[in-house]
Chain A
Amino acid sequence: MRTSTPARIGQYTALLAYLVFLAFPFLWLVSTAFKPPRELGSLHPTWIPKDPTLGNFRQAFDEQPLLQAALNSLLAALAAAVVAVLIATPMAYVVARRRTRLAKAVTGWVVVSQAFPFVLLIIPLFLVLKNLRLINSVPGLVLVYVVWALPFALWMLAGYVRAVPPELEEAAAVDGAGRVRTLVSVTAPLLAPGIVATGLFAFITAWNEFFFALVLLKTPEKQTLPVVLTHFIGAEGVADLGPLAAAAFLATLPSLVVFAVIQRRITGGMLTGAVKS
């Protein structure tokens, strides 16, 4: 199909507008992160810092326990991702391969779990974790993150399992491989990329998560990055912009890098999961 030249010009103008809209806040964050205090206080801020500096980053690390927070975030996100994938993969396999009542119930739960506001979940969880003495601890947060990541992990993994033809497993069975052997040496290797993508996605969502961490972690040395970032904003909403921007920029980098790696797989997995159920 041919598109006329004026139409093409219109399309490129629109696309350019989208690009600007999507990119400018992030560019402004980066720009602010590298500006010295004098430029931040100026009434005519510029896009490109005239006198770029790393001072904001140093100050950010001095003001808040960013390294400890990053470590907490890393531990919580890593543990949550690994556990979620380990327990979700077998269930996703069953859900994808067999149309039982269980599969329907799981799909139903995935949908319902999206609709419930977190307050309704966090108050009872808070009480339960308090009884287990897991408030203000990273393991307690990991428990919450695992359950919170499960619906999406199940959804995606079930999509990946469906993409593995059952005929392959049947062929292995014909050749005399037992059930476990079939799963380990035929299905698992084919699922591996999907499992890694799901795990990385669970990692990012946990790394980015704010609400549960805000409620469950009380002392600064236990808190995760997103919670510590909000401490840069004072009680009256006044913030030291430079360090705030620098810390926010650093906290985003892991998410951006990991997401860039898995983006294609995530969108693919989401949609196979969606189309087939």
Chain B
Amino acid sequence: MTSVTEASPPSPQVRRAGRRPGRDRPRKAVDHGAWFLVLPALLPILVLSAGPLLYGILLAFTDAQSGRTEPTRWIGALNFRDLLHDTLFWESFRIGLVWAVGVTVPQFLLALGLALLLNQGLRLRWLARALAIIPWAMPEVVVGIMWRLVYNPDAGILNETLRDVGLGSGRDWLSGLATALPAVIVVGVWAGMPQTTVALLAGLQNTPRELHEAAAVDGAGAWRRFRTVTWPALRPIALAITALNLIWNFNSFALVYVLTNGGPGGRTRLPMLFAYEEAFRYGQFGYAAAMGCVMVAGISIALAVFLVGRLRGGDDA
């Protein structure tokens, strides 16, 4: 498959030509090989990911149920009409949004702070990097279990510390109607902070150092330097990781399942928990699939608003 161009002595042009897909003969040959290389991954993707997703969307328009003998029927948009009046679901949807934003925003701010610190060449950097592994590598179930131990009303370290400091006798954080959601949000922030920090840190290390120094020489303070030099370079990564965090957090399940299982009184029932119960406790596959569709639509709209707002905000700055 060696072509004449490749055989000639290497020059910059030739090297570039070697990568360009414009040449005819090798391209066809590669394409055949390409299909052969791609197929082993493409088949499972189509059969077990893309296919099921479409199937799932179709299910939302049926009355599919678990363990039923009569055939499943098309019922049009009936599931969606029912969903419209399902106040419990909308309450859960609202909690999902509060949770997603409540986790993503502090996560971003804390991660940015840590990334800026780690970028300063302080002494204990290695320790912070090592510790940041813990939340990232742990099974979500263990993160949940761990924080249950921290929040435990009697044997938990949180209440014990509060008692020591003299801030009252502590409370049952995860079962209190008012405290449950904030308490699980703290866990969500803790669990997702490392990934965000690592992404932001990489972004920081790409910012031009000379610009920073030039700005310092010109007498720009730390905040000015951050706004005019660091932030513009960091923005693309910051936007990408925040958008991803929003999606991941909105769709999260295991953490809250272990911490509160949606309680008390549904105060922490994220949409995923709601849909899971609908599908696998009550067997309402069609209805749960409709919820899934609404969740996708909801998160897409939220993302669009966020990204359009951010991008426009960037043009003004």
Q: B141 — which chain A residues lie within 8 A by C-beta? A: 208, 210, 226, 229-230, 248, 251
Q: B59 — which chain A residues lie within 8 A by C-beta? A: 123-124
Q: A16 — which chain B residues lie within 8 A by C-beta? A: 124
Within 8 A of A (CB), among B139-166: 139-143, 145-150, 152, 154-157, 160, 163
Q: Closest 8 interchain pairs by CB?
A: A120-B292, A259-B137, A90-B37, A208-B139, A124-B52, A124-B55, A91-B41, A87-B40
A245 within 8 A of B: yes
Task: Establish whether residues B38 and A94, one from each chain, have CB atoms under 8 Å apart when the complex forms.
Answer: yes
Q: B1 — which chain A residues lie within 8 A by C-beta? A: 173, 178-179
Query: How far is B43's CA from A150's CA once the two chains are assembled, in angstroms?
Result: 12
Residues of A within 8 A of B (CB): 1, 3, 7, 11-12, 14-16, 18-19, 21-26, 28-29, 32, 40-45, 47, 86-88, 90-91, 93-94, 98-100, 102, 109, 113-125, 127-128, 143-144, 146-147, 150, 154, 166-167, 170, 173-174, 176, 178-179, 204, 207-211, 214-215, 225-226, 229-230, 232-233, 237, 239, 241, 244-245, 248, 251-252, 255-256, 258-260, 263, 267, 270-271, 274
Query: How far is B290's CA from A119's CA once the two chains are assembled, in angstroms?
Result: 10
B307 within 8 A of A: no
Residues of B within 8 A of A (CB): 1-2, 6-7, 10, 15, 18-19, 21, 30, 33-34, 37-38, 40-42, 44-45, 48-53, 55-57, 59, 64, 110, 113-114, 117, 120, 122-124, 127-143, 145-150, 152, 154-157, 160, 163, 175, 190, 193-194, 198-199, 202, 212-213, 216, 222, 237, 240, 244, 247-248, 250-251, 253-254, 257-258, 260-261, 263, 271-272, 275-276, 279-280, 285, 288-289, 291-293, 295-296, 299-300, 303
B261's nearest neighbour on chain A, judged by CB, is: A237
B275's nearest neighbour on chain A, judged by CB, is: A119
Query: How far is B40's CA from A252's CA once the two chains are assembled, in angstroms?
Result: 32
Task: Establish whether residues B52 and A26, one from each chain, have CB atoms under 8 Å apart when the complex forms.
Answer: no
Task: Establish whether residues B50 and A109, one from each chain, have CB atoms under 8 Å apart when the complex forms.
Answer: yes
Q: B155 — which chain A residues lie within 8 A by C-beta? A: 32, 40-42, 45, 241
Task: Establish whether residues B146 and A117, one from each chain, have CB atoms under 8 Å apart when the complex forms.
Answer: no
B209's nearest neighbour on chain A, judged by CB, is: A1
Task: Establish whether residues B122 and A11, one from each chain, have CB atoms under 8 Å apart when the complex forms.
Answer: yes
Task: Establish whether residues A167 and B160, one from each chain, have CB atoms under 8 Å apart when the complex forms.
Answer: no
Instruction: From known contacts A102-B38, A174-B6, A179-B1, infer whether A127 and B212 are also in contact, taking CB-CB under 8 Å.
Output: no
Q: B250 — which chain A residues lie within 8 A by C-beta? A: 117
- Closest Cβ of chain A: how far from B39's Cβ, in Å? 8
Q: List 5 A-B contacts (CB under 8 A).
A: A29-B142, A114-B248, A128-B52, A208-B137, A270-B199
Q: Is the interface of B mostly helix, strand, loop or mixed?
A: helix
- Closest Cβ of chain B: how far from A185's Cβ, in Å? 16
Task: Establish whether residues A274 and B134, one from each chain, have CB atoms under 8 Å apart when the complex forms.
Answer: no
Instruction: From known contacts A119-B289, A256-B133, infer whether A11 and B120 are also in contact, taking CB-CB under 8 Å.
Output: yes
Query: How far is B297's CA from A120's CA once the two chains are assembled, in angstroms?
Result: 12
- Closest Cβ of chain A: how far from B135's Cβ, in Å? 7
Q: B295 — which chain A residues lie within 8 A by C-beta? A: 117, 119-120
Query: Given A120, A174, A260, which contacts B296 in the complex, CB threshold below 8 Å?
Result: A120
B273's nearest neighbour on chain A, judged by CB, is: A119
Q: B160 — which chain A residues lie within 8 A by C-beta? A: 44-45
Query: How far is B59's CA from A267's CA once the two chains are assembled, in angstroms?
Result: 38
A129's nearest neighbour on chain B, judged by CB, is: B48
Query: How far is B137's CA from A207's CA once the two chains are assembled, in angstroms?
Result: 10
- Closest Cβ of chain B: how far from A3's Cβ, in Å? 7
Task: Establish whether residues A229 and B289, one from each chain, have CB atoms under 8 Å apart when the complex forms.
Answer: no
Query: Given A18, A90, A123, A256, which contacts B114 in the complex, CB threshold below 8 Å?
Result: A18
A43's nearest neighbour on chain B, judged by CB, is: B154
- Closest Cβ of chain A: how far from B180's Cβ, in Å? 12
Instruction: From known contacts A94-B38, A166-B19, infer whether A18 and B128 are also in contact, taking CB-CB under 8 Å.
Output: yes
Residue with the greatest number of chain B CB neighbours at <10 A, chosen from A21, A90, A116: A116
Task: Establish whether residues A146 and B44, one from each chain, have CB atoms under 8 Å apart when the complex forms.
Answer: yes
